[in-house]
Amino acid sequence: MPLLILSKRLALFANDARLGFRLVARRWKQLDRAKRKRIELSAVLSLLPLSAAIAGLAAVPSAFELDQSQVQAVVESVATPTIADQMAELLEREDTHLREVRVQRGETLAALFTRLGISDTAALRFGQTHPSARALLRLPPGRFVQASITSDGALHWLKVHSAGDLDGVLATTRILTLDRSANAEPEFQVAEADVALERRVEVKAGEVRVSLFGATDEAGVPDAIAQQMIDALESEVDFHRDLQRGDRFRVIYEALYSSGEYLRAGRLLAVELEVSGKRLSAYWFANGSKHGGFYAADGRSLKQAFLRSPLVYTRVSSGFSSSRTHPIFGYDAAHRGVDYSAPAGTGVRSIAEGVVTFAGWQRGYGNVVEIRHDGKHVTLYAHLQSIAPNLRQGVRVGQSDWVGTVGMTGWATGPHLHFELKIHDAHVNPLTAELPSAQPLAVAQLSSFALASAPLRAQLALLERVAIA
């Protein structure tokens, strides 16, 4: 009797599985690669209890080995969802991901949503018009912002942290949350709360397969830390051209928790990057300035007075040249700058401190910003979709301050940034020009730096050995 029941149930299971796999085959092609990976992982994890049960059954003696007089058939109906139902539920789950950025000078709420990858008209309208969300319209630069977003750009929730700096001394922070309501009116709710902060040190490692941000996502490194990795090492490596498949990274950083729940990333403490066989490292050190700085293992400052690129992560579509064929008019002419291909709306930053000498429209350049940085350096940013609010002649900007967004205004065949650098009023190639560095550590600080960086170097070395093993 038990064998007969077992055979019938196995037949039902096989039929159920066949229907489930048919459903999966139809839906699988509709999913993006990221969601497929999550489903594959979920499927593996869901099978672990089943494999444990099978192992347990294997350890039980065969029924024929037991005393036949003790064998008693027990039949009990258990309501379990079919495989088809389970797979359908898994495929229909809302896939969300977390994005983290800092508010840039003059940035509007619409521009912030674009940078976060939010495509949610209802959320933007609420943030711009509802009285309870008024604080979102006047976010000061540097504020840390998180957003949970679905794969199609819908906003799940958005959090703004009042402590936007990384000084590491604050014990609490105030969080403004814009949350989508499940069954309430209005559609979104705004709340503010003070939370206690707990700082933890976390270590991660990864390998580049397509891009740095793809590799950090796969390793579970927050976007904010990935950006700090670029900021720390961009004077040593050109992230647009040098990074290749197979390059590796190891990173140590602070993470902020409250009541055991992750809130946001803190400060990058150390990073090691292997690029084409070359090993680069950066260590944060409290050098006596307001925010400290990043230094190489020998104490050399990694901060440049000038950033190498006005865009965080993109590619060069047209280089500096004494002669090239104009893409619109067809004649040969000098190209006295570099074109960076990037999606429209991508933020453009000033590569150094300076004063705006022009912000407006020029015929071929479209929307353009020109900045004089010192007595000899001038930069120009052209074809902008928009210029940062309140940016006009005479306004002082800082390094990495937002000056506008990538566009295709003026004479342009597609969205890109045209960037020029002049030294003593002569155009130079921004990719190869020699740019001044920041001040190095004083001799008296070198011993303190060596002492502070030693445990970080040891941790990175241990992380490398573990990764190799």
Q: What is the pLDDT of residues 77-106, one digit of tens each?
A: 545 556 556 555 544 555 678 888 888 777
| Per-residue confidence (pLDDT) for residue 343, from 0 to 100 | 86
User: Strands 261-275 and 293-295: what pairing?
Assistant: unpaired
Q: Which residues pair with 302 in a beta bridge?
A: none
Instruction: Please give the residue that has the higher pLDDT: either 287 or 372.
Output: 372
pLDDT digits (tens, 9 = 90+) for 251-306: 999 998 888 888 888 899 999 999 888 899 999 998 766 668 899 998 888 887 88
Q: Which domains does the chain have, with CATH numbers?
A: 2-92 (no CATH), 96-196 (3.10.450.350), 199-303+440-468 (3.10.450.350), 315-428 (2.70.70.10)
Instruction: Inform me whether the pLDDT recorded for 317 exceeds 70.
Output: no
| Per-residue confidence (pLDDT) for residue 107, from 0 to 100 | 81
- Which range, of 132-146, 175-189, 220-234, 305-319, averages the lowest pLDDT? 305-319
pLDDT band at 168 (very low <50, low <70, confident <90, very high): low
Q: What are the distances in angstroms from CA 445 to CA 116, 285, 298, 441, 442?
A: 39, 10, 12, 6, 5
- Which range, of 25-34, 113-122, 157-166, 264-273, averages the lowest pLDDT? 25-34
pTM: 0.57
Quote the Cα angle for 436-440-443, to 5°: 155
pLDDT band at 308 (very low <50, low <70, confident <90, very high): confident
| Per-residue confidence (pLDDT) for residue 19, from 0 to 100 | 54
Give the phi and the psi of residue 213 in degrees, each rounded to 5: -65, -35
pLDDT digits (tens, 9 = 90+) for 429-447: 988 888 877 777 888 889 9
Give alpha helix (H) positions in 29-179: 33-59, 83-92, 109-116, 121-129
Give the phi and the psi of residue 120 in degrees, each rounded to 5: -140, 95
Closest Cα to residue 126, out of 193, 185, 192, 194? Answer: 185
| Per-residue confidence (pLDDT) for residue 9, from 0 to 100 | 61
Q: Which residues pair with 380 in a beta bridge?
A: 370, 420
Q: How far apart are CA 148 and CA 97, in angstroms?
A: 6
Q: How far apart are CA 164 and CA 141, in angstroms?
A: 8
Instruction: Inform me whether the pLDDT recorded for 170 exceeds 70.
Output: no
| Per-residue confidence (pLDDT) for residue 61, from 0 to 100 | 44
Question: What burial letters (b/e) apply to 401-414, b meaning 16+ CB within 10 Å?
Answer: bbbbbbbbbbbbee
Q: How far apart are CA 352 and CA 71, in angstroms?
A: 83
Q: What are the distances in angstroms from CA 36 to CA 40, 41, 49, 94, 98?
A: 6, 9, 21, 13, 18
DSSP code per residue over 397-427: E-TT-EEEEEB--SS-SSSEEEEEEEETTEE
- Which range, of 58-72, 215-229, 249-263, averages the lowest pLDDT? 58-72
> Which residues lie below 8 Å from residue 335, measured CB to CB, with a gap of 6+?
318, 319, 320, 321, 324
| Per-residue confidence (pLDDT) for residue 271, from 0 to 100 | 95
Q: How far apart are CA 443 and CA 449, in angstroms?
A: 10
pLDDT digits (tens, 9 = 90+) for 2-31: 555 555 566 655 555 555 555 455 554 445
pLDDT digits (tens, 9 = 90+) for 207-219: 988 888 888 888 9
Find the mean pLDDT for residues 171-175: 82
Q: How far apart are CA 233 and CA 303, in angstroms?
A: 8
Q: Contact 456/421 with Cβ under 8 angstroms?
A: no
Instruction: Please give the residue that has the higher pLDDT: either 410 or 242.
Output: 410
| Per-residue confidence (pLDDT) for residue 196, from 0 to 100 | 86
Percent residues over pLDDT 90 in the chain: 26
pLDDT band at 69 (very low <50, low <70, confident <90, very high): very low
Q: How far apart are CA 335 and CA 321, in angstroms?
A: 5
> Which residues lie below 8 Å from residue 395, measured CB to CB, with a gap of 6+?
355, 356, 359
Q: Contact 428/421 with Cβ under 8 angstroms?
A: yes
Query: Average pLDDT over the chain, rounded to whole?
Result: 77
**Most confident of the ranges 40-44, 368-372, 397-401:** 368-372
| Per-residue confidence (pLDDT) for residue 250, from 0 to 100 | 93
Q: Where are the beta strands (DSSP E) in 52-184?
A: 96-102, 144-150, 155-161, 172-180
Q: Tell me if residue 227 falls in helix, strand or coil.
A: helix
Instruction: Inform me whether the pLDDT recorded for 115 exceeds 80.
Output: yes
Instruction: Inform me whether the pLDDT recorded for 50 exceeds 50.
Output: no
Cα-only R_g, the chain: 28
